[in-house]
Each structure stands twice: as structure tokens, then as C-alpha cells.
Amino acid sequence: MSNHIKLFIPGPVEVRESILQAQTAPMIGHRGKAFETLYNRIHEKLCRVFFTNQRVLLSTSSGTGLWEGAARNCVSDDPTRGVLATVCGAFSARWADVFEMNGKAVTRLTVEQGCAIKPERVRQAILEHPAPFDAIAIVHNETSTGVMNPLAEIVAVVKELSPDTLILVDAVSSLGGVKIDFDGLGLDVVLTSSQKCFGLPPGLAFAAVSDRALERAKTIKNRGYYFDFIELEKFRLKNHTPATPAISLMFALDKQLDDMLAEGLDARFARHARMAAMTHEWVRSRGFGLFAEPGYESLTVTCASNTRNIDVSALNKYLATQGLHISDGYGSLKGTTFRIAHMADLTDADLSELFAAIDRFLAG
Ligand SMILES: *Cc1c(COP(=O)(O)O)cnc(C)c1O
């Protein structure tokens, strides 16, 4: 493929040829034995990637669909309780909007872009709220700012002060690249999309859901239809999905999970950490800054401060001639930052190729 542009953007990511090919297998019916075997196999492997013995629900949607699912299934309509939405950038702000648009009471804990959500701020927000929150929403990896939030420390505060508050985590741009120990941390919903660290095309989303989140869902009347966790779980127990799923993507997922487990999850996490270190080092050594506050830099996507004031769209035009593509800053950060994703199946060699190309651009 001579016109192939290798993607270093935080979704959709570069997808390996063998994974693309897996999607072309002949179609099967979703109410037959072959599908049940496929789904069962996928579920077992997904549980390993999510570090859970509970369940992982599969949705034919992007991650945004499961944002809505988490909002509808885990937060009651009691206006005195609601959700504590932690906001540190564009994605976490949008998830807060999703709760609100589903009629839930939202308390926002907002920090400046580039900063992380600190456990002390969460402590304060919980103590200031007259009733316990039904849930807290945390975006683990804020893709717009390149900040990775200290999940374990935040969780510890919630468990200490408000043990009945469900912990909902968006790990869309980190799960599969960074270890998130669902059962170990006692999380309630962790959701992600196929087109980020999983290295698949877009179109599927996954959510580990705890027993206690399902118990909560049962007490909530209007859970909606497509993302009703109770219904998804009822069908999952029979290795079915309520509606027709994206079966071709499931073929690709089945193969990709095999490859992820063959690489070894620890090796996969180590590769992501190494690629992050390489990228941080390149960014600093070329006179750019890291937008994330020190100590909270993402391990899957680097947001560089454009301190040299380069023309990012000109850079991407040049990179296209080299078969490469990076991301401009997101929303209000366009132009003043640029982002390099180092997630999914990219390698050190891919990054070296990218850095060499950017260096040629910078040299003029
Ligand atoms: C990409 C992204 C989303 C949106 O996911 P979709 O699959 O596009 O719906 C949500 N949260 C984060 C942190 C993301 O990076």
C-alpha cells in the first residue's frame, strides 16, 4: 500500500494488516453455535486484559455509547446524590455533559488543563457534598492534555470516605496499554473503545462491570434500551448480544486478543512505558515542553507544548509525504500543543522513524 499513512494519533490508531484481514472471514449468524463459541472465547480473554473475574460487556458502538450506559445504569435520579464528575480536559468535560444530558445531577470537580485530578481535591469534594454521591467519574487518561490521573490514589480516598459510591472509569485511551486492575482496585465500571490501545478499527466498545454496579442498575428504572447493562448481561450469560453485533470486528478482536496475550500483558505495558519515555525524551531534547504537569504524563499519548511555535499543519503536510501522521492539539489547545500517540501495536522503530522525519522538518 503505497498511499498508506501510518497513524500516530490517539485514535483511530494504526491497525496491523493481519488484524484488518481477520475482518474478512465469512459471516456467521449471531444466534448460532459458532457465534457463542466466539463470544465465549473473546469474553474469557477480555477478562484477562481487564483483570477481572466478574464480566466485560461488549457493545457495538464507540466508547461514547458506554459513557451513556454508565450514566444511565449507575446514577439514580435522586437529585441530592448524583455523580461527582472529575474534569481535567475536553474528554472528561464531555463525559460530565453526558451525565447531565441524561438528567443526572452533576457536581463538577474541575482542574486546569494540563493538571491531574488529585486525591485531596476528591476528598474535599466528597466532604463538601451533603449526601454520598451515587458515583464518581474519572477519565484515567485525558487524551486532550496527555495527563494520566492517579487512579489508585483517587480510588483509595473514595473507598475510605464513601464506600457505596460507584467508581466509573473511562480508560478509553489507556486500557490495553497500561495496567488497570479492575478487581484489585475494586472498580465498578471501566470502559474503553476498540480503536485506541487495543489496536483495532473503531466500532466496538467494552466495559468491565462489577456485581455491585449491576445491583445498582437493578434499582434504577429508566436505564434506556441499547446500553442497558442488565439486558447486556442477561444475553452475555448465554454468549449472545441483545442486538446484532459487529461480527467482523469481533473476528478481528478475537485475533488481536490472542496477539496481545502472546506478547504478554506485562511486556505490552512495558513497551508502552518505554515508548512514552522515548517520546518524552525526544520532545524535551528538541526544545518543546510537556503539557502535562510533571509526574502525571500519559504513558500512551504525549501532548507537547509548542514552545518553538512551529506550524503544526505544515508539519503534518510534510509528514504525509513521508507516510506519517500526528495529531494537532485538541480543541482550545490546537496550535499551542501537538500530540503524538504511542499506543496499541506501535514499536520503538516506528517512533524512531517518526522522530527522524520531524527532525528533517525542523531542520527545514
Ligand atoms: C477517544 C476518547 C473517547 C471517545 O471515544 P469514542 O470511542 O470516540 O466514542 C472518550 N474518552 C477518551 C479519554 C478518549 O480518548
Label each residue of the chain as H, E or C.
CCCCCEECCCCCCCCCHHHHHHCCCCCCCCCCHHHHHHHHHHHHHHHHHHCCCCCEEEECCCHHHHHHHHHHHHCCCCCCCCEEEEECCHHHHHHHHHHHHCCCCEEEEECCCCCCCCHHHHHHHHHHCCCCCCEEEEECEECCCCEECCHHHHHHHHHHHCCCCEEEEECCCCECCECCCHHHHCCCEEEEECCCCCCCCCCCEEEEECHHHHHHHHCCCCCCCCCCHHHHHHHHCCCCCCCCCCHHHHHHHHHHHHHHHHHCHHHHHHHHHHHHHHHHHHHHHCCCEECCCCCCECCCEEEEECCCCCCHHHHHHHHHHCCEECEECCHHHECCEEEEECCCCCCHHHHHHHHHHHHHHHCC
What is the Å distance from ligand 1's center to 141 Cα? Answer: 10
State the pLDDT at residue 2: 63
**CATH code for the domain of 217:** 3.40.640.10
> Quick one: cell of 167?
467508581
Considering the domain architecture, whether residues 239 and 301 belong to the same structural domain is answered as: no
- The residue from 261, 284, 300 where one domain ends is 261
User: Is 1 a domain residue?
Assistant: no
Considering the domain architecture, whether residues 10 and 32 belong to the same structural domain is answered as: no
State the pLDDT at residue 94: 98
Ligand 1: residue of 143, 149, 178, 342 to mutate (most ligand atoms within 8 A of CB) is: 143
The 10s digit of each residue's pLDDT in 103-144 is 999 999 999 999 999 999 999 999 999 999 999 999 999 999
Ligand 1: residue of 7, 91, 142, 194 to mutate (most ligand atoms within 8 A of CB) is: 91
Domain count, the chain: 2
What is the Å distance from ligand 1's center to 300 Cα? Answer: 13
Q: How far apart are CA 104 and CA 119, in angstroms?
A: 24
- The residue from 261, 291, 320 where one domain ends is 261
Closest CA to 194 of 176, 181, 209, 180: 176
What is the Å distance from ligand 1's center to 201 Cα? Answer: 13
Please identify every stretch of the chain with a pLDDT value under 70, giving residue numbers as ranges.
1-2
Ligand 1: residue of 92, 94, 148, 170 to mutate (most ligand atoms within 8 A of CB) is: 170
**CATH code for the domain of 316:** 3.90.1150.10
For residue 51, give its domain range. 18-261
Q: Return the C-alpha torsion angle 111, 273, 136, 224, nearest 10.
A: 120
Q: How far apart are CA 71 and CA 277, in angstroms?
A: 35
Considering the domain architecture, whether residues 89 and 188 belong to the same structural domain is answered as: yes
State the pLDDT at residue 5: 98
State the pLDDT at residue 31: 97
What is the Å distance from ligand 1's center to 191 Cα? Answer: 10
The 10s digit of each residue's pLDDT in 34-58 is 999 999 999 999 999 999 999 999 9
What is the Å distance from ligand 1's center to 106 Cα? Answer: 20
Cβ-count burial of 359 within 10 angstroms (0-12 exposed, 13-18 middle, 19+ buried)? exposed
User: Is 218 a domain residue?
Assistant: yes
Closest CA to 142 of 87, 190, 179: 87
What is the Å distance from ligand 1's center to 49 Cα? Answer: 18
Considering the domain architecture, whether residues 59 and 111 belong to the same structural domain is answered as: yes
Of all protein residues, whose CA lies closest to atom 12 belonging to ligand 1?
172
Considering the domain architecture, whether residues 179 and 316 belong to the same structural domain is answered as: no
Considering the domain architecture, whether residues 217 and 293 belong to the same structural domain is answered as: no
Closest CA to 241 of 89, 52, 40: 40
Average pLDDT of the chain is 98
Pocket around ligand 1 at a 6 A CB cut-off: 10-11, 62-64, 91, 139, 141, 143, 170, 172-173, 193
Considering the domain architecture, whether residues 292 and 224 belong to the same structural domain is answered as: no
The letter for the amino acid at 64 is: T
What is the Å distance from ligand 1's center to 177 Cα? Answer: 15
Q: How far apart are CA 307 and CA 126, in angstroms?
A: 37
Q: What is the pTM of this model?
A: 0.98
Considering the domain architecture, whether residues 250 and 289 belong to the same structural domain is answered as: no
What is the Å distance from ligand 1's center to 36 Cα? Answer: 28
State the pLDDT at residue 344: 98
Considering the domain architecture, whether residues 182 and 275 belong to the same structural domain is answered as: no
Considering the domain architecture, whether residues 68 and 178 belong to the same structural domain is answered as: yes
Considering the domain architecture, whether residues 287 and 202 belong to the same structural domain is answered as: no
User: Is 168 a domain residue?
Assistant: yes
User: Is 72 a domain residue?
Assistant: yes
CA distances to 77, 83, 180, 226, 293 from 71, in Å: 10, 9, 21, 13, 29
Considering the domain architecture, whether residues 324 and 245 belong to the same structural domain is answered as: no
Of all protein residues, whose CA lies closest to atom 2 belonging to ligand 1?
172
State the pLDDT at residue 3: 85
